[in-house]
Structure 1
Amino acid sequence: MAANDHFSVYGRMIALPGRRDEVVALIQDAVDAGGSPDLLGYSINIALTDSDTVWVTELWTDRQTHDQTTTSAAVRAVTEQMLALLREPPEGTYGTAIHYR
């Protein structure tokens, strides 16, 4: 399925030692708090070579919806909890999905 107009997010978070599972749970809580039908899909991945690193990929209908959802009060509240469990600020980039299934 072509998706040239879909907005994608790729992020990496490094949890404090032993806190990765809590970060993963909070990522899921943030998705639930956002409740946006415009989040078409997301993937939470753990690194095989680093027990504290979490990678997240999101596919959105558009950037505007992403920005509105992730800056909502409900999502920000969960994000604040998650930031306290990270060794450093999250890193990531934005893109455009050119193909997905």
Structure 2
Amino acid sequence: MNRFGMNVKFTAQPGQRDALADILLGAADALAGVEDCELYVVHVSETEADVIWVTEVWRSSEAHAASLSLEETKAAIQRAMPLIAGVESTKLKPIGGKGL
């Protein structure tokens, strides 16, 4: 299988990390029934007060792209946008390991 992965670094507006993390955790809950999403983990940085990392693994890049058209995803993006100061992402090709 040709999996697709991403590590995404969200920098929240000052003081908004927890509110943004709550939205991202809600997005993770919404993906619980999406079989094509194999992993969606939200992390907060212990060294950068406004930084949140999201690690994602999908069955394919097409599945990830399709997830962006889900109503729950669109709504989460709309709520999150005012809280985000910056986003950096790295696309990855998962090849194995514990949990895959």
TM-score (structure 1 length as normaliser): 0.85
Q: What amino acid does structure 2 have at the position aligned with 1:94? A: K
User: Please, which of 41, 57, 73 is the counterpart of residue 43 of structure 1?
Assistant: 41
Give the equivalent residue in structure 2 for 1:77: 75
Distance 1:60 1:100 in 2: 14
CA contact (8 A) 2:28 2:41 kept: no
Distance 2:42 2:29 in 1: 14
User: Please, which of 24, 29, 33 is the counterpart of residue 32 of structure 1?
Assistant: 29
Bigger mean CA deviation after superposition, 77-86 or 27-36: 27-36
CA contact (8 A) 2:27 2:76 kept: yes
Q: How many residues are paired up?
A: 97
Unaligned 5+ runs, structure 2: none
Unaligned 5+ runs, structure 1: none
Residue 79 of structure 1 deviates from its aligned partner by 0.8
Task: Provide the aligned C-alpha RMSD in A.
Answer: 1.5
Q: How much identity, in percent, do the aligned residues show?
A: 26
Distance 1:39 1:31 in 2: 10
Distance 1:36 1:79 in 2: 18
Q: Give per-residue Cα distances to partners, 1:33-55, cap 9 Å, x unaligned.
A: 34412111122111121110011
Distance 1:17 1:29 in 2: 21
Q: Give per-residue Cα distances to partners, 1:50-97, cap 9 Å, x unaligned.
A: 110011110111111111012322201111111110123x21021110
Residue 99 of structure 1 deviates from its aligned partner by 1.7
Q: Report SS of the residue matched to 1:24.
A: helix
TM-score (structure 2 length as normaliser): 0.86
